[in-house]
Amino acid sequence: MNRRYTVVIEKGTNSYGAYVPDLPGCVAAARTKASVLKLIREAIEIHVEDLRDTGAKVPRASATAIPVEVTI
């Protein structure tokens, strides 16, 4: 079964961080955006596997992200 989860990527001073709103605690960090995307994909797979192994329900993907333009 495939699920598509929203991943939030944030650029820090020297690295990138990523998290999955629908999977609390599922995070990754790396020096490059490409690396953090690879790591968060792996983290999602491990997180879901752990949920299944412990008998917990795997959350459905429900978060969405859209850019919002504002005048500042």
Residue 19 lies in a domain: yes
Q: How many domains does the chain have?
A: 1
Residue 61 lies in a domain: no
pLDDT by residue (tens digit) across 53-65?
Answer: 999 999 999 999 9
pLDDT by residue (tens digit) across 20-31?
Answer: 999 999 999 999
Residue 16 lies in a domain: yes
Q: How many CA atoms lie within 13 A of 62 on its CB side?
A: 6
First-residue to last-residue Cα distance in the chain:
43
Range of the domain at 31: 8-53
Residue 14 lies in a domain: yes
Residue 2 lies in a domain: no
Residue 45 lies in a domain: yes
